[in-house]
Amino acid sequence: MTKRPEEIALLAEAGRLLAAVFGHLDGLALLGMSTMQINDRADRFIVETLGARPASKGQYGYAYALNASRNNVVCHGVPSDADVLCSGDIVNFDITLEKNGFIADSSKTYLVGEVSAAARRLVQVTYEAMWNGIRAVRPGARLGDVGYAIERHARRNGYSVVREYCGHGIGREMHEAPEVLHWGQRHTGLALREGMVFTIEPMINQGRDAVRTEDDGWTVVTCDGQLSAQFEHTAAVTHDGVRVLTLRADEAAPV
């Protein structure tokens, strides 16, 4: 379950490259682009510019480099030529990247055009909730502390936390132990140890936490049709705290 320092160094390199993919997406004019166009741009950037592999492509039979989850789509949205981004949309891009046999996983929710204050607030609170969870990571803390920090922030702001999906260990495989729930009680769950590497990726809903999977077998949406947002980072437990391996250029490390 724990990784050796040389393995974490390789995971950090995959994370650095994945952060660069989001930097590339940050430079795109998303308004009017289809989610398939964005998928194709990300795929080419990963392969041709970074010399890496889109790890989601072919995993579990999935055909694309990213998930594109728009508005009321909670997660696992499938890119499509028909899914064109409009002003007012929020859209999450969830991307995994493999380099030198190790995988990094991250996601970011983007605001497209003129976004309502309510949607903007949901996205901001979701981002804050993820960071609250990350800041709870340190040796001797427990996974329940991470989930508690996330859920407390979401609920204090009037939102709900999706319970059907969670973070996960990561390394040579995309999904490893442990499961990282985004809700919980303090001082409960697995004790964290130096060398553990896992994702923290809360999905926060504007309305109820209930979700359903559409007929394509992938796309998960809110049952009440209200908005959902998500952010994700891959994090490693260090000797005195946490290191975010997928930290982007526009972000600060946790304090």
Other Cβ atoms closer than 10 A to 124: 14
CA distances from 220 to 29, 78, 113, 160, 227 (A): 26, 10, 24, 16, 12
Q: What is the rounded distance in angstroms from the CA atom of residue 18 to the CA atom of residue 153?
A: 27
Query: What pLDDT is recorded for position 255?
Result: 60
239 is in an annotated binding site: no
Domain boundaries, given as residue ranges, for the chain: 5-244
Interatomic CA distance for residues 102 and 228, integer angstroms:
29
Radius of gyration for the chain, computed over Cα atoms and rounded to the nearest angstrom: 17
Could you tell me the two tokens for 247? Answer: 């930290």
Amino acid at 146: V
To the nearest whole number, what is the mean pLDDT of the chain? 97
Share of the chain above pLDDT 90, in %: 98
The span from the CA of 232 to the CA of 55, in Å, is: 16
What fold, for 5-244? Creatine Amidinohydrolase (3.90.230)
Q: Which pLDDT tens digit goes with each residue over 104-116?
A: 999 999 999 999 9
**pLDDT on residue 109:** 98
Residue 176 labeled ligand binder: no
Is 182 annotated to bind a ligand? Reply is: no
Question: What whole-number distance in Å separates Cα of residue 19 and Cα of residue 104?
Answer: 9
Euclidean distance between CA atoms 183 and 176, whole angstroms: 19
Residue 194 counted as an annotated binding residue: no
What is the per-residue pLDDT across 212-245, written as a single tens digit (0 to 9) for each? 999 999 999 999 999 999 999 999 999 999 999 9
94 labeled part of a ligand binding site? yes
Which pLDDT belongs to residue 252? 80
- pLDDT, averaged in runs of 10, over the chain (255 residues): 96 98 98 98 98 96 98 98 98 98 98 98 98 98 98 98 98 98 98 98 98 98 98 98 96 75
Q: Specify which residues 98 forms β-bridges with.
A: 53, 103
